[in-house]
Amino acid sequence: MVIGEICAGILLQNVFFFLSGITILGSKLPPFDFSNAQGSDFFIFAELGIIFLLFLSGLETDAHKIKKAGKVSTFTAIGGVIAPFFLGFLTGYFFTGSFELGVIIGTILIATSVGVTARTLLDLHLIDSNSGVTILGGAVLDDLIAIILLAFVISTGENPFILTIKTALFFIFIICFFILKIVNKIMDVSEKIHIPKSLMSIALALCLIVSVLANELHIAAITGAFLAGLLIGITVQSSKLIEDIRTIGYGFFIPLFFVSIGASINFSEFLNLEDPVFAISGFSSLAAFIIATVMIIIVAVFGKIVGCGIGARFAGMSRRESLQVGVGMVPRMEVALIVVTAAASSGVLMGHADDQLLAMTILLGLVTTLLTPLLIKATFK
């Protein structure tokens, strides 16, 4: 289903773009480019889709298992940061000759797109397996590491030390105060309100509040959504929520997130090769870009499988489970795109470097996103 939704987005983007300006029944179709429609209603719904997906993942994950898998998830995240970063840095430096671009490419390869893996594990009813729990915990951790490292790389004005402290305080506040003081009482009261679906409405409100709080603290909103789902999932009322959340999420919002991934790819303006970033002696700019992108994608897949797999194995998981964890951490998308756009807006990327790195990142996201569901199904057979 994930692959179908992404392909639908690609079709939507490119059919709409190439039909722009055509006259039908005396009316000219207006120009519209989905890939440049960030902030539009379409992408707002898509952003809600990833929040629903991570909230649902949290609800369906056993919090006690995630606590038990804390050590394994930590080792997995550390391995999944170190290996991709250094392999990405070396590959980027080799093809660009720039230390700064090498560091940015390494940072792009760190964060896992947990939405793709979570959706696949949910569809296969494996979200609560040992490997599934480890993947979710590790993905949340390496997203946080990537965001903190991004502050170092591009000097956004956010002090990395302050960002680390804020992240720690956010988790302490949400876990201690939210669990011990609020969530059980709120869920008990909401169950007693005789209004249709009041329990679901209040649970969604809590999810959005925690997501907004995480976003305002420069922590990913999806991390807040997952944490809210995890904490609400320990209440006795959670079993009454899951089917309603699945209906709303899968019925409308979640598919739009995956459609938006495909719709962000515009083949007509995909690459600007003026002032090429990637260079190989004896090859044209286009050939150098293709070769460099293929190598970076290979390094991205290999780095996550090996780095996360070794981390999971070192923490005590079996070889098969370690491979499953490594494969589940392969996809990149949201945070990788955030790294590129933040680097471009901060002035770190000069000339057409931002266009070319964005094109490379989109290809990286597309290939790893389409590849991961197939690999997960194969390794869990």
124 contacts: CB under 8 Å, gap ≥ 6: 376, 377, 380
What's the pLDDT tens digit per position in 243-257? 899 899 989 998 888
**What is the reported pLDDT for 301?**
95
Q: CB of 49 within 8 A of CB of 255?
A: yes
Residue 157 pLDDT exceeds 60: no
Structural contact between residues 211 and 222, judged by C-beta atoms closer than 8 angstroms: yes
Instruction: Specify whether the CB–CB gap between 230 and 240 falls below 8 A.
Output: no
The residue type at 64? H
Asked if 124 contacts 108 with a C-beta cutoff of 8 angstroms, the reply is no
* The pLDDT value given to residue 37: 56
- Considering the chain, what is the average pLDDT of its residues? 81
Burial of 381 (0-12, 13-18, 19+ CB in 10 A): exposed
DSSP state of 110: T
Amino acid 299: pLDDT: 96
The fold for domain 41-250+270-379 equals Na+/H+ antiporter like fold (1.20.1530)
CB 140 within 8 A of CB 170: no
Q: How far lies 101's CA from each of 24, 45, 80, 111, 339, in Å?
A: 46, 33, 20, 17, 12
| HSE-up (13 A, CA, CB side) for residue 62 | 10
User: Region 139-150: what's the mean pLDDT?
Assistant: 74
Q: How far apart are CA 37 and CA 26, in angstroms?
A: 26
- In the block, tokens 């949400």 appear at 174
Q: At 330, is the secondary structure helix, strand, or coil?
A: coil
pLDDT in tens, 34-44: 655 555 778 88
For the cut 70, the answer to whether the pLDDT of residue 132 exceeds it is: yes
156, pLDDT greater than 60: no
Whether residue 270 has pLDDT greater than 60: no
Q: 199 - beta bridge partners?
A: none
- Split at pLDDT 50, 70, 90, the class of 208 is very high
Bridge partners, 27 (sequence order) = 24
Q: What is the pTM of this model?
A: 0.71
Q: Note the pLDDT tens digit of each residue in 57-104.
A: 888 777 676 677 778 888 999 999 999 999 999 999 999 888 888 988
**Token couple for 20:** 């722009």
Q: What's the mean pLDDT in 117-124?
A: 83
195 SS3 class: coil
Give the Cα separation of 233 and 8 in Å (integer). Answer: 33
Predicted local confidence at residue 112, as pLDDT = 85
* Least confident stretch, 37-46, 104-113, 157-166, 244-253: 157-166
Nearest to 70 by CA among 112, 148, 133: 133
* Domain regions of the chain by residue span: 41-250+270-379
The Cα 210–Cα 214 span in angstroms is 6
Q: Are 328 and 307 in contact (CB under 8 A)?
A: no
Mean pLDDT of the 193-205 span = 85
User: Which pLDDT score, from 0 to 100, does residue 32 have?
Assistant: 60
Pairing type for strands 23-24 and 27-28 reads antiparallel
What pLDDT, on a 0 to 100 scale, did the predictor assign at position 278? 87
